């Protein structure tokens, strides 16, 4: 049994341990830090009016500056809101994006490669005269595409349309088996699986036979699809491979500018493009979002040269010696007799021409009877909304098919935020009920169509490297129209009741996301 004196002694030691222990030291240190902080704030109180005034002045200067730039009005509005709410952070972010850290060099290199490729375009004088006589508007558009993108007009080109990714897949495998000189692939996504294993098997065998096989894919694939060192693995198989803009731990705006193209070129006489990437969901081998509806085209003949040039522009951008001439001298177009005109074109975030957007606007503004559109995303600026509403207001039958299933929730919410305005203007909106629609197709008046990679969102229209083919009076346009009719039957026409009964959260998040959609 402890004596009273021992208990008292232990109590004294406990008190001393608390007073001089680590816990008390931490408490005292924190108290001193708070006192120091309050003392600093008290000393700076007299300067608060100057700080607030400086913030107001910065905000006013930045708003005036942004409003006087050449940027899209919708983008300006988003920046103004961000700067108004967070003046210092918003200003820093704005100039970070404007200065294009890390992207200026990339832009100069690709621009140089594009300009070098212009020397290998076919003569345009005679074909331009014929086109001008047949369709002055399309002639003017082709002039724009030539001046701002280096894209030529071609005739004598057969076009085959694929209403599903699996249709394209089987055909591309057969065509690659016939390759004797080159196989070039440029895809936004290459994912390991059944589709890629079948393609890789053909590429490996063809490389062993001496065919020049080149593969380029976007650097974002290294995040979820392929190992970072995958190009070296393909090099061991005799396949030349590059990652476009590999992701590295650097603070740079060039990560915004992805290579979203889908191009396959075989011997310079056959080419494919469209929305179909090389991954299993695109051919419905897997079904992450239900049935995957995608489209593509194959061109045979003179227009395949255009896609060859598009591929080489991107490939040669990082080459010390650019091989436009050596490649093009080894290939020749197979003689094809086919009606109509084909314009393969690329879109680049290198200048303010916005080629992909302007082609879409031209179709909407020139349409007489109808414009049918398939797009997975609907994130629109004021100009595109105005064009859609103006076309419908002129009595043009404007219909859009979007996915019922969503691969990105925010994109679906943003798309639905446009439904009310477009519906009121007379635009008919359909949702593809079997699953997800990834196609990017415009069709107008039975004579004009676009099939490619360009979505109706800010990233495709302003930031990404894209490609497509503009078709005029080619027989495949009839197949495209038939596919639209079939897809309309499988889709739900959005009604006023559908729009009215959207959930409160969908409406709220749509309003909030629309504010910053141009910056996403």
Quick one: pLDDT at residue 5? 45
**The tokens of 74 are what?**
């919708």
What whole-number distance in Å separates Cα of residue 313 and Cα of residue 324? Answer: 8
Between the alpha carbon of residue 155 and those of residues 159, 332, 443, the distances in Å are 11, 15, 19
What whole-number distance in Å separates Cα of residue 278 and Cα of residue 319? Answer: 25
What share of residues in the chain are helix, strand, coil (percent, to 5)? 55, 20, 30
Per domain, the residue ranges of the chain are 7-98, 104-143+153-344
Residue 38 zone, left/alpha/beta (φ > 0; ψ -120 to 50; rest)? alpha
Helix/strand/coil for 56? helix
Nearest in space to 431 (alpha carbons), one of 456, 457, 406, 408: 406
What whole-number distance in Å separates Cα of residue 164 and Cα of residue 91? Answer: 45
Quick one: pLDDT at residue 520? 63
**The tokens of 222 are what?**
């290294």
Quick one: pLDDT at residue 1? 45
**For residue 272, how many C-alpha atoms fall within 13 Å in the half-sphere facing its CB?**
27
E strand or H helix that includes residue 387:
helix 382-393
What is the sign, positive or negative, of the torsion defined by CA atoms of 320, 325, 331, 335? Answer: positive
Quick one: pLDDT at residue 401? 98
Quick one: pLDDT at residue 9? 44
pLDDT beneath 70: ranges in the chain: 1-26, 40-42, 44, 47, 99-104, 248-255, 333, 516, 519-520
**The tokens of 399 are what?**
């219909």
Quick one: pLDDT at residue 41? 64
Quick one: pLDDT at residue 4? 45
Q: What is the pLDDT of residues 466-485, one digit of tens each?
A: 999 999 999 999 999 999 99
Neighbours of 345 (CB within 10 A): 28
Quick one: pLDDT at residue 255? 59
**CB neighbours of 167 closer than 8 A, spacing ≥ 6?**
296
What whole-number distance in Å separates Cα of residue 343 and Cα of residue 104? Answer: 28
Domain covering 104-143+153-344 in this structure, CATH number = 3.30.870.10
Nearest in space to 164 (alpha carbons), one of 388, 476, 437: 437
**CB neighbours of 222 closer than 8 A, spacing ≥ 6?**
228, 230, 243, 246, 247
What whole-number distance in Å separates Cα of residue 74 and Cα of residue 518? Answer: 7
On whether the CB atoms of residues 250 and 288 are closer than 8 A, the answer is no
E strand or H helix that includes residue 428:
strand 428-432
């Amino acid at each position: 049994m402890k004596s009273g004196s021992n208990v008292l002694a232990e109590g004294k030691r406990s008190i001393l341990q608390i007073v001089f222990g680590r816990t008390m030291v931490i408490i005292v240190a924190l108290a001193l830090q708070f006192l120091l902080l309050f003392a600093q704030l008290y000393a700076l109180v007299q300067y608060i009016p100057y700080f607030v005034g400086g913030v107001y002045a910065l905000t006013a200067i930045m708003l005036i500056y942004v409003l006087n730039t050449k940027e899209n009005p919708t983008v300006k509005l988003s920046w103004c809101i961000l700067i108004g709410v967070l003046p210092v952070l918003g200003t820093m972010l704005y100039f970070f994006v404007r200065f294009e850290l890390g992207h200026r060099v990339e832009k100069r290199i690709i621009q140089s490669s594009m300009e070098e490729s212009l020397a290998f375009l076919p003569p345009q004088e005679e074909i331009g005269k014929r086109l001008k006589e047949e369709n002055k508007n399309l002639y003017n558009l082709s002039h724009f595409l030539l001046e701002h993108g280096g894209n030529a007009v071609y005739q004598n080109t057969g076009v085959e349309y694929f209403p599903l990714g699996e249709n394209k897949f089987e055909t591309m495998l057969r065509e690659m088996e016939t390759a004797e000189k080159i196989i070039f692939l440029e895809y936004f996504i290459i994912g390991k699986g059944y589709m890629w294993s079948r393609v890789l098997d053909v590429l490996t065998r063809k490389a062993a036979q001496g065919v020049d096989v080149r593969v380029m894919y976007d650097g974002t694939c290294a995040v979820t699809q392929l190992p970072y060192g995958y190009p070296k693995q393909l090099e061991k198989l005799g396949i030349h491979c590059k990652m476009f803009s590999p992701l590295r731990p650097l603070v740079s705006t060039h990560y915004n500018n992805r290579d979203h193209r889908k191009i396959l070129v075989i011997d310079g006489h056959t080419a494919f493009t469209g929305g179909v990437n090389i991954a299993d969901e695109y051919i419905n081998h897997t079904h992450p979002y239900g049935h995957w509806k995608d489209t593509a085209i194959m061109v045979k003949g003179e227009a395949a040269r255009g896609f060859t040039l598009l591929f080489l522009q991107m490939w040669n951008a990082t080459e010390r010696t650019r091989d436009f001439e050596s490649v093009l001298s080894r290939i020749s177009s197979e003689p094809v007799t086919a009606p109509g005109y084909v314009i393969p074109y690329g879109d680049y975030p290198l200048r303010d021409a916005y080629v992909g957007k302007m082609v879409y606007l031209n179709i909407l503004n020139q349409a007489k009877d109808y414009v049918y559109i398939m797009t997975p995303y609907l994130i629109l600026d004021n100009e595109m909304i105005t064009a859609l509403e103006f076309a419908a207001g002129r009595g043009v039958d404007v219909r859009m098919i979007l996915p019922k299933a969503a691969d990105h929730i925010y994109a679906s919410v943003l798309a639905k935020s446009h439904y009310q305005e477009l519906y009121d203007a007379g635009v008919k909106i359909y949702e593809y009920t079997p699953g997800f629609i990834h196609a990017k197709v415009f069709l107008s008046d039975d004579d004009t169509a676009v099939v490619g990679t360009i979505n109706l969102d800010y990233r495709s229209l302003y930031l990404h490297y894209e490609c497509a083919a503009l078709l005029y009076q080619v027989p495949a346009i009839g197949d495209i129209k038939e596919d639209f009719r079939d897809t309309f039957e499988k889709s739900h026409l959005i009604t006023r009741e559908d729009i009215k009964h959207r959930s409160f959260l969908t409406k709220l998040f749509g309003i909030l996301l629309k504010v910053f959609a141009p910056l996403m």
